[in-house]
A and B are shown apart, each in its own frame.
Chain A
Amino acid sequence: MKKNFIYLASAAILLASCNKNSGTITHTYNKATAQYADINEVRNTAVAAPAKNIQKAGKIYFGNAVLLIGEPNKGIHVFDNSNPSNPVNVSFIDLPYTNEFYVHGNQIYAISHYDLVKINISDLANPVVESRLDNAFGTPIKDNQGRILMGFTYEVVTEEFKLNSPEEEMLRQNNKLYYDYQDKLIPVSEVPSSFIGSGRKEKGTINKIALDNSHVYVVGGEELYTFQENGGSMSKVNEQEIGSDIETIYEEGDYLYVGTKSSMIVVNNSNPSSPTVSGRYTHEVSCDPVLPNGNIAYLTLRSVQADGCNGFVNLLEVIDITNKNNPTKIGDVTMASPYGMTMLDNHLFVGEGNNGISILDVTNASNPVKLVTYTSIKAYDVLKHPSLNDVILVTGNSGLKQYQFNPNTNTLVELSNVDLP
């Protein structure tokens, strides 16, 4: 019996060990080639620059009297928006390699490459760097001349790989391959998340940065970084992996609401220096900003494949977050292609891309009721004015428009338009 067992086990091992497929896989993928430069030149660049025309709009911020429009990898356009009917382009913040920023009062917190930068915009025409935390998002990768990896140039290539090669594995995780100056593969885990996670394709304000008093929270592809402000400087106090495919973060009360492609993560930051994950709500894979409203959170799930977003549903999900350890879905509303959203009193505005903008009544927060959809207004992201309770800003295909909302008639009147390329 024992002998037979040994024979069988040996045969099984022999068979299992001899089942190695061989061959090739041909992928068409994004090849990222490393670009190196002297990072000190970037860090020493004066941020204040004259107003420039917008070449390509990225991140957008809607402030009390200021409108900020990011120029991907180059900087931020500053508009004086004290009159929403007539925003004026007043200056440019020269901040290379910036795609993500967040505004609080007169401060901009921006991810600039490896660094977290805080900029004072009290004087819109003359922004100044208040503090900079070098290498906040990773240790710089250097070439053989000591220059720092500053970014990548991308090209779509078709290439043949051996089956089960490292390249194949990396392509499965991330549809790009990163190559260094020697044309060697750079593991995705070693590429700073500020290179990977930034640069959303749509214009908008969906945030990767949140602020809570003296703490700044930044999400990367998988990480949540926590920074503490100490007077004129910042320091990293926490870094933890909390999920994958993280897209957004939103702070309310003692909690951070983190949206990923497949879940909403509730993070307790009652101890601001050491946030902890308290609950998760898992949903179908899709793109999904989160908007908390008291004990309810609204989640938009989108499956529009044209922007690289996967999934099969287009929904506004209503999540009960009374128990932060166990967020529970209590309802949903079918949408066309929901992107960003905002609220004015009891009205929820949901941008639906080329399908327009929808307005929902959320008087009963747990039961949103769709009132109207304006298909003529192309809306990706929707923001409310910080102080004017009847003004929203909408980013569309080619422009950034401000509308005045009449809650009695549920109508929108256009106030101004800034053309965006």
Chain B
Amino acid sequence: MGAKFVSFSQIPNGAIFHLPGDNTVKGQLFVSDTAYHLTLYNKTVLSFSKYDALKAYLPEEIYLFSNGKFNYKKGFLFGLEATSGINHVSSNLSVTYTPNFHGIEYGMNIGSHLNFVDFSAITNWVWLDVSSFTVSGLIKYYPLQTSLRRPYVKASVGHASNSIPNFAGNTTIKNSAVLEFGLGYTFSSKSRTKWYVELTQYNMKINGTFTDNVNTNQGVAPITEFDIWLNRLMLRFGFVFGK
């Protein structure tokens, strides 16, 4: 597996073009004033007018490899990801921009998160299903930009609007912060869609009150205040796609 990975080298000045007739060509690009000259994998040179290219991934936008797969180097990416862990499920939509600056990528996420948390109140055990709408800023760093599989580290800080649908009557919860730190891999592909997998440390604060209207004491409902950091280590899958 490792040998296979090493054998596919990056093609200098690699580019991809979609041409009429549903043709896609990949290779090393040389540009003249009016035409593209593409040296294909079989060493033949294909020349065509710039106006014939229906879609172009130019060398400043991608890293192309000898197996035909590519990674994004610069530009806007849109993404969708799903996360699952103990007592947690979530999904996020992301928009990120890669400025081709030392492997940095930044952007923002909006997400829908569901966390399950339990704690003890007086004479009761409380289970909360905390539903959150999150808006976060994120930054990714790719230390090995030009590799076929690009590892990255990620940090994300955001705001969570929290609610507790099934305990609306006797539980209050405040909005809070949500923090994420991740280590992941983005896989190159031949298509515009790039899959990634990530191990995420997720931290979200929930605080509020639980009023126990059942186990009252002398007619007074005991109130329990909770102030809890949810610390979750989770597995995340997602994909991004460019233009």
Q: Could you tell me which A residues sit within 8 Å of B by CB distance?
A: 11, 14-16, 18-29, 163-164, 168-169, 171-175, 201, 305-308, 310
Say yes or no for B19: interface residue by CB 8 A criterion: no
Q: 1/0 contact trace for B78-98 toward A, CB 8 Å?
A: 000000011100000000000
CB of A169 within 8 A of CB of B120, answer yes
CB of B121 within 8 A of CB of A172, answer yes
Q: 1/0 contact trace for B29-65 toward A, CB 8 Å?
A: 0000000000000000000000000000000000000
CA distance A314 to B134 in the complex (A): 45
Pick from A11, A19, A164, A169: contact of B87, CB under 8 Å: A19
Leading 3 A-B pairs by shortest Cβ distance: A23-B228, A18-B233, A26-B225
B106: shortest Cβ distance to chain A, in Å? 27
CB of B223 within 8 A of CB of A19, answer no
List the one stretch of B2-10, B146-154, B185-193, B211-219 in contact with chain A.
Answer: B211-219
Which residues of the other chain, A, contact B227 by a CB distance below 8 angstroms? Answer: 23-26
Pick from B124, B216, B229: contact of A21, CB under 8 Å: B229
B125: shortest Cβ distance to chain A, in Å? 6
CB of B217 within 8 A of CB of A308, answer yes
CB of A23 within 8 A of CB of B226, answer yes
CA distance A274 to B63 in the complex (A): 84
Most buried by A among B117, B122, B205: B122
Q: Which residue of B lies closest to A173 (CB)?
A: B123
Pick from B216, B217, B229: contact of A22, CB under 8 Å: B229
Say yes or no for B164: interface residue by CB 8 A criterion: no
CB of A172 within 8 A of CB of B124, answer yes
Pick from A15, A19, A28, A310: contact of B222, CB under 8 Å: A28
Which residues of the other chain, A, contact B232 by a CB distance below 8 angstroms? Answer: 18-19
Which residues of the other chain, A, contact B224 by a CB distance below 8 angstroms? Answer: 25-28
Contacts A171-B122, A308-B216, A310-B215; is A14 near B233 (CB within 8 Å)?
A: yes
Q: 1/0 contact trace for B105-149 toward A, CB 8 Å?
A: 000000000000101111111000000000000000000000000
Which residues of the other chain, B, contact A21 by a CB distance below 8 angstroms? Answer: 117, 228-231
Contacts A19-B87, A310-B215; is A29 near B230 (CB within 8 Å)?
A: no
CA distance A29 to B233 in the complex (A): 34
Prevailing SS type, chain A contact patch: mixed
Interface size on B, residues (CB 8 A): 33
Contacts A21-B228, A23-B228; is A172 near B87 (CB within 8 Å)?
A: no
CB of A172 within 8 A of CB of B228, answer no
A176: shortest Cβ distance to chain B, in Å? 9
Pick from A19, A22, A175, A307: contact of B123, CB under 8 Å: A175
Which residues of the other chain, A, contact B230 by a CB distance below 8 angstroms? Answer: 21
B82: shortest Cβ distance to chain A, in Å? 15
Say yes or no for B25: interface residue by CB 8 A criterion: no
Q: Which residue of A lies closest to B219 (CB)?
A: A306
CB of A25 within 8 A of CB of B225, answer yes
CB of B122 within 8 A of CB of A29, answer yes
| 13 pairs from A and B in contact (CB 8 Å cutoff) | A19-B86, A19-B231, A20-B231, A24-B227, A24-B228, A25-B119, A26-B226, A163-B119, A171-B122, A175-B215, A305-B216, A308-B217, A310-B215
Say yes or no for B179: interface residue by CB 8 A criterion: no
Most buried by A among B117, B120, B217: B120
Say yes or no for B183: interface residue by CB 8 A criterion: no
CA distance A306 to B121 in the complex (A): 19
Which residues of the other chain, A, contact B123 by a CB distance below 8 angstroms? Answer: 171-175
B32: shortest Cβ distance to chain A, in Å? 51
CB of A15 within 8 A of CB of B120, answer no
Q: Which residue of B lies closest to A170 (CB)?
A: B120
Contacts A22-B231, A305-B216, A306-B219; is A16 near B120 (CB within 8 Å)?
A: no
Which residues of the other chain, A, contact B87 by a CB distance below 8 angstroms? Answer: 19
CA distance A171 to B224 in the complex (A): 11
CB of B85 within 8 A of CB of A15, answer yes
CA distance A246 to B21 in the complex (A): 84
